[in-house]
Amino acid sequence: MTDTGNALPVRLRNAAVELVRDAARTAWVLFKIMVPILLATRILAELGVLDVLGRALGPVMGVFGLPGEMGLVWATAMVTNLYGAMAVFVEVAPESITVAQVTVLSTMVLVAHALPIEGRICQVSGPRMRAMIGLRIVGSMVLGFLLHVVYSTAGLLQHQSTAFWNPERTDTSWSAWAVGQGRNLALIFGIILLLLFLMRLLRWSGITDLLGRLLEPVLRLLGMSRSAAPIAIIGMTMGLCYGGGLIIQEARSGRLSERDVFFSLALMSLCHSLIEDTLLMAALGAHHSGILWGRFLFALVGVFLLTQVLRRLPDTFFRRHLFRSDQAR
């Protein structure tokens, strides 16, 4: 009886130590990707590269029914992150901008943002970086154009927008930036630790298998197996940066086929962080019809069409242009 009583705390302690070690290894893989890219994007911003890219995109924004100034917002989002894009939006958005325009821009930003970091996370998991980034940029433009056509043709959301988020001026020094990024990395480690714990709990309780069975028809339609359910759910709810370490771990575990990994990441690249990111864009005045439902449906339809096309192409094309083998990573 005494041995049994002593054994339980020992097993729990060993499990906790193993969990922390796995989280540290997973976070290390992710941080090796993020830190150099975060530094590079900060330098690019300091050099004015974002301004140049924003001016280049200005004439293109008319295709989506947006003012030229919104090119800088989209450029900032693609190179940095949503928060950077939101700060720029507040600075440059005209007072007459409509809810439809804010929704179109916000949806485009949600599909294509933080491309260097999130593209690299996808690359380490297997899919080629250029394929994932290309998918997100093209998807962003197609969805933005479709929403613009729907809103303008039907006369929807044409009233003036009101932003609910107006950020205070913050310290833009290198030291403040470094402290902020350090806090973000600590938060990401905590989230990775929690996700690993939840994943083990879900597997132990059988909930993972239940989710897989429930989602199997949808996943099969999208070209994925039941095993892809956990990774797809994590990416779509938590996002590629927060869930990136776990996504990499799952992709390398051998539980998923190459096509499972590719289509899972394609799905979550087009539609991820459904809660946090959607709320951020809603704070700018965007409507849920685009930033939530439009984005979600577009991702499902887009990945379905992608699977139909790739089924007709040889595996050599998939390996050469879309996915890197283990030896090539």
Gap between the Cα atoms of 274 and 240, Å rounded: 11
Identify the pLDDT of residue 102.
Answer: 96
% of the chain with per-residue pLDDT over 70: 90
> Does 273 or 213 have the greater pLDDT score?
273
Summarize pLDDT for 120-131 with one digit per residue, the tens.
888 988 899 999
The whole-angstrom distance between residue 154's C-alpha and the CA centroid of its chain comes to 30
Range in 28-37, 56-65, 313-322 with the lowest mean pLDDT: 28-37
pLDDT band at 211 (very low <50, low <70, confident <90, very high): low
Please indicate whether residue 54 or residue 326 has the higher confidence score (pLDDT). 54
**Residue 167 — very low, low, confident or very high, per pLDDT cuts 50/70/90?**
low
Give dist(CA 144, CA 54) in Å, integer.
17
For residue 165, the model assigns a pLDDT of 66
pLDDT tens, 243-254?
667 777 777 777
Is the pLDDT higher at 27 or at 265? 265
Mean pLDDT of the chain: 83
Question: 256: which residues sit within 8 A by CB, 6+ positions away?
Answer: 225, 227, 228, 231, 250, 264
Q: Quick one: pLDDT at residue 166?
A: 62
CB 294 within 8 A of CB 142: no
| Span 148-168, average pLDDT | 86
Q: What is the pLDDT of residue 328?
A: 44
Residue 135 has pLDDT above 90, yes or no: yes
Burial class (CB in 10 A: 0-12, 13-18, 19+), 137: middle
Residues 6+ away with beta carbon under 8 Å from 197 = 19
Residue 304 has pLDDT above 60, yes or no: yes
Tokens 């359910």 -> residue = 229
Residue 4 confidence (pLDDT)? 54
Distance CA 140, CA 129 (A): 16
Give the C-alpha separation, 239 to 34, whole Å.
14
